[in-house]
Amino acid sequence: MAASDSQFHPRVIVVGDRHSDFAMEVGRLAAEYDLAMTPCDDIYSAATELAGHPDRFTMVTGMFRQLIRGKGDFFALTERDGVPCCCLLDKEGDVDRDKILMAVRLGVRLAGEMADIRQFLEDRLAAGGHRGPEADEEDFFREQFRATEDELEALLRQETDG
């Protein structure tokens, strides 16, 4: 059995249309980093996939609009299970500030472009799949996190101005 077929080989779950440009690009990144890729059509199949392999080193990525469906329960699930999650924000879609802040509070990493997804994969692989130190709401007010907060505010302003 090849290493990429092993149930313990690191993998990335890609939520959404498996034929989309996004999924295809994540597939190229997965091959580059020797990750298995598991495409899931929606958050429900992704949740089932996560439940079926709770001990596997897994990361989740997808478009924000697809992962935020419902009340953000999928983000709560990944946070509870310690599964790193990164979403690509749709620059053409509506941005709900409350949903973005909820995702950030639940440990979701937001990406503005595919280079951010690449960095997410690199960071997680370097950390052995773990999220790293947990952040709490107080972190949003600390100086070392200010650039991230400013970037988020700029993104939210850009979406409402357009």
Rounded CA-CA distance 103/127 in Å is 21
Question: Of 55-64, 87-96, 129-138, where does mean pLDDT reach its minimum?
Answer: 129-138
Closest CA to 123 of 28, 12, 37: 12
- Return the pLDDT at 133: 43
- Return the pLDDT at 56: 85
What topology is assigned to 3-134 in CATH?
Answer: Rossmann fold (3.40.50)
Q: Break the chain into its structural domains and give their ranges.
A: 3-134
- Are 63 and 22 in contact, with CB atoms under 8 Å apart? yes
- Single-letter amino acid code for the residue at 124: R
Q: pLDDT over 70 for what percent of the chain?
A: 73
- Return the pLDDT at 70: 80
Closest CA to 23 of 75, 74, 69, 63: 63
Q: How confident is the model at residue 1 (pLDDT cuts 50, 70, 90)?
A: very low
Find the mean pLDDT for residues 36-56. Answer: 91
Rounded CA-CA distance 66/62 in Å is 7
Measured torsion, CA atoms of residues 101, 156, 91, 39, in degrees rounded to the nearest 10: 0
Pairing mode, if any, of strands 85-88 and 109-111? parallel
pLDDT exceeds 80 at position 20:
yes
Classify the phi-psi angles of 126: left when phi > 0, otherwise alpha if psi is within -120 to 50, otherwise beta. alpha
Please compute, for residue 37, the number of CA atoms within 13 A of its CA located in the half-sphere on the CB side.
22
Rounded CA-CA distance 145/160 in Å is 23
- Return the pLDDT at 41: 94
pLDDT exceeds 80 at position 147:
no
pLDDT digits (tens, 9 = 90+) for 66-85: 999 888 899 999 999 999 99
pLDDT digits (tens, 9 = 90+) for 104-124: 999 999 999 999 999 999 998
Which are the contacts of 62, defined by CB distance < 8 A and separation ≥ 6? Answer: 14, 15, 16, 22, 46, 87, 88
Rounded CA-CA distance 162/144 in Å is 29
- Return the pLDDT at 150: 62
Find the mean pLDDT for residues 122-137. Answer: 64
